Each structure stands twice: as C-alpha cells, then as structure tokens.
Amino acid sequence: MTTVEEYVVDLDGVKSRAIELQGTGPPVLLLHGFTDSAETWLPVIERLRRGGRRALAIDLPGFGHAGHVDPRAPLLPQLDRAVVAALRRFPAGSHPIVAGNSLGGLAALRAAQDPELRIGAVVPIAPAGLTFTRWLQIIERTAQFHGLLVHGLLTAPVPFPRPVFRRLVGQTYRNLVFSTPSAADPGVVHRYARNVGDRADLARMIRMARRALPELSDPFDLARITCHVLVVWGLEDRLVPPAGAHEISAHLPGARIEILEGCGHCPQVEAPDIIAGLLDDVAGQLTGR
C-alpha cells in the first residue's frame, strides 16, 4: 500500500510544504485556493492512494506553511513560478495532470498555456479570474457568523484568543464554502481554520487579495491551451459563479464541463469521491485506458 509523505520543498526559492503520494500513471499536481493549503486535498489524496495514483499537493507561496510572497511584485507570476517548480519534480515526459481549486484553478489554467511544460490535462475547479469573484467583498462586508463580521475581527480593540479566532474563521468558511454548512466535515473545517491563525494572518491575506484584484481582470489566454481540459464547478458555489464554466467552453469548445449538484466552492472536500473519480478518468484517457 502506498504511503503519503509530507516534507519541505523549495519552490523557486520559496520554502514550502509538499504532500506527496507515490503511485503509477500520469502524476497529479494539486493546487489549493486562496487562504487554503495543500491539506484541502487530503480527502482526494486518500482516494487516489487507494487507486495507486501518484499525486503531489503543495502550499502555494503566501499560504499554509509556505513562505510569504514578495508584496512589491505581482502575485500571479510568483504563483506561476512555484507551479513550474513543482511540475519539474515529476519525470520528464510524464504528461502530468494539474488540478486546482479557485486561485489554484487559475494557476492551473495559466500553467496549461505553456506548451513547454507538456501538461497532459488541466482540471480547474471553480477557477478564479473568469467571472467577478466576490470573495473579498463577502469577507469584508457581509460574512456573518454568530452576529459578528470579519471586519469586527480586524478592528476589535482587544485581540481574540487564538482558539476563539480560529473557531470564528472556521464558521465563516463553513457558511461560505459548503452547499450545506451543517453537513460540513468538522475535520475539514478545523484544518482550514489553522491557515488563518490570528488577525495578522487575516489582515495579510486581505491585503494580498486587494493587490491581486487588478491581476484577476484578464489573467488568461485560454486559446493557447491545447491539452485536455475538464472544468468542474459546484452548482451552489456562492463565491465564484458557475457561469465561468461557459466562458471556458466558449474559448475551448473541446473542454468537458462537469457541474456538481450539492457542492459549493470546494468540491474536493464536499465530494472527494467524485473528484478523485474524475481525476482517475482523465488519467485513464491520457494513457488510453
């Protein structure tokens, strides 16, 4: 039985965390979304492990256990370089699959534009950068939990104890990301909440989001993508409207679209069996199985 290994990795000069699963077939690179980490892929990795697939999830610069991004430089090129560094860890000619959620989906699509990377397939899951992403607006103005606003977390005159802060962050995540918040896996919520440990973390990420917004206005040249494309979206996504899938199909008529009922913004944690099955199906197509 294959095992999952966690270790420190250098991604173009940025120290980060990698969660790697050894296996066979085209390797799968897994990219998380904004404020998230590689741990969002653990449910999918467990299912890929059962099928003997090879996968690698990384913490993108600025998130999880990774080093911070350079605040003086554009964000997306820094993510691009990290993705390229991660892809270079796979054997030459392995034609990897790049799957990413939200910001990670955006990074996956950008990587697929580069023919030199020889990506076999790209699987963007609710990618940012296609339709108006309401994350920052919701977080700052309307995300309510137990009568509090995230704005209150940032402006309260006294600091919240870390356990209380993380509980409130977790509740916000539960309410915004899951199609049915009451059914959210407590372990998934707990892992996410560790990514935003205190007010300094939250303030840093909101500053990063503000700086990145102009870059999200036109981040792609989708016509350059020639590899297999599978777009996945949760029908109940509150943060990035599923209409973005139609924009991809307009530029890439051969793209396959899967809209998942009963899923919100992060199908990899709400429907890991389905996501793992879709990735396995894509791998099978690449190998002619």
pLDDT in tens, 30-41: 999 999 999 999
Query: How far is Cα of residue 55 from the mean position of the Cα atoms in its chain?
Result: 15
Q: Determine the pLDDT at residue 240.
A: 86
In a 3-state reduction of DSSP, which class is residue 99? strand
Cβ-Cβ contacts under 8 Å for 97 (sequence gap 6 or more):
26, 27, 28, 29, 119, 120, 121, 122, 123, 279, 282, 283, 286
Structural domains in the chain, CATH included, are: 4-132+217-287 (3.40.50.1820), 135-208 (no CATH)
Confidence of residue 287 (pLDDT cuts 50, 70, 90): confident
pLDDT higher than 90, residue 214: no
Confidence of residue 134 (pLDDT cuts 50, 70, 90): low
Read off the pLDDT of residues 65-99 as tens digits, 9 standing for 90 and up.
999 999 999 999 999 999 999 999 999 999 999 99
Lowest mean pLDDT, pick from 8-17, 177-186, 206-215? 206-215
pLDDT recorded at residue 209 = 82
- Residue of higher predicted confidence among 21 and 1: 21
Of the candidates 163, 134, 160, the residue with the CA atom closest to the CA atom of residue 241:
134
- AA identity, residue 271: A
- How does pLDDT run across 147-185, given as a tens digit for each residue? 344 555 555 555 667 787 788 888 888 988 999 999 999
Is pLDDT at 114 greater than 90 in this prediction?
yes
- Closest by CA to 36, choosing from 160, 168, 170, is 170
Residue written as token pair 């992060």: 266
User: Does residue 95 or residue 218 have the better pLDDT?
Assistant: 95
Q: What is the pTM of this model?
A: 0.91
Alpha helices in the chain (DSSP H): 42-50, 75-87, 103-112, 135-137, 150-155, 162-177, 186-193, 199-212, 244-251, 267-270, 272-287
